[in-house]
Structure 1
């Protein structure tokens, strides 16, 4: 172990980091004869990747994390970490650590003692515990808090202690179960970036669970969207947002503009908002991304145009959102504010739609 740390010594910190790939193959897990929490899930996570499991409550993302940690055993299927099968391997024998939503800190121990607890249980000498605890505390921004009681810490500081406690054991994989969900919005946004920077610096494999779409897009190299125990889509943040695999993924990612396709031919499609020319691919619905919808003078830059009425206007600082009534269809457009007067409620505007800002979805 000491040799591995020396081989991967970082400037100013005697910390070792390796990364392991993860292979999940046809994993199924049910509880008490209910619908499968995991239904034949197959997934490959690359070594050193920041990978996020994203989905609504009850979709199976936390169950999958617990299977990786060894806290749950799959009914069937196979899990490999670093090319090694985890069948029958208990949690304490896996090179995996978990940061829980509740942080699970020991209230009767100070920060230093919380961080070093796992090393103490492994019988690591006291001098090495002190060195490694100090190093990881500095790396996670709590180097001045080591002698402070946990009860005296803020929510963000407690999150850092839980993270340091998991990292100090030098796992090959770090599992994070919604660790930022209890924080206020401003601190949460700050720690999202901080956590991503830390992962890049360490080069460790992170598997992150969240139900927050924006959080997943900001932090992840790739995202797996889960739906009812199955993988709905695996892609980069851009891919999941701009080219969702189906209506479920599109709705979960916050999209609202869905237009049924009535008929298609070689040059375009007929829809409830009119004829749209372009290459829209297959599928039953068009997804029109709000930021790709053009209004008035901007609309004249694209070939597909029609008229609509502004039913609602929402000012959001750098952007203004407009709800547009287009016959039986309501669309939402998101337009950059460039110091010009906006459109008023009740105003009729020209709307432009390009196939570049459009995805075609199946039901």
Structure 2
């Protein structure tokens, strides 16, 4: 296969840690192909937009960037423009049809084929690779290792996809079903990262607490990594409360390599809203998990996510969320206004009936309360 030489590229990344890590993997692939990274988009031969569609705002931000690429292509027709990530997975075919300036679209499960795509572009093809890979025997976890980890921190993907069916969430349709990575491969990658300077690793997955390779759960994996690698600190994200079990909680008590922090999204503290969200747990179960975590590790930092203004949310239901936030005194939170995402149960079956101004007012009230908690 032919290889490009002395070319430059620029990657613009939107969204979560998984996207950041995917971009890092693409950077390592491109380095092997003798591409040099540049900070200025205008001076790059290849421009990659790694996109996010988890919320409507993120989607429109990515589409805006794609639209602006039209002008860039008009003035620099030899530039190659690629769209990847979750917007590509959601709307890749439409993007290729609507924007002839785009040379390539590919989904998150196709990153390992980037060298093939670049060869196809030299033949004036316009590849669109959007297949999701849900078979564990076919999915390829990219294990490229950087030559140096300057910050001491590294991401390690241990699984991909999500089998949950939260009514508001687009992730299963753009990231596919859960596939867990072999324990031995994870150990090998972490050992390689330690050799080039990694002190701390963050285990990544769309639903990381659902990790299950053969008979090894996330708790078992963390225990194995603590014994079989020389990594000093371990974190993980993002978990789902319904999959946090006693064994994982016990690791926070017994495992000194596991950092005393967990980001545990609740989304709402109203059981009726949680039911409409199809989250699979109750407020009481969430409280039980938090109490158990604090009992296991008294200095643990707990953060969370909240969605305000979900379909049908009443003032009384929102007040339940505010009461829980005030009660738990979390270390920090991320909060967002609900926005309808395509290909979700909520989009097809529930009315987005909370006015924008009420969503904004509730968001400000929640964030204001959290600011008071943080300051105190």
Greater helix percent: which structure?
Answer: 2
TM-score (norm 1): 0.26
Larger strand percent: 1
TM-score normalised over the length of structure 2 = 0.26
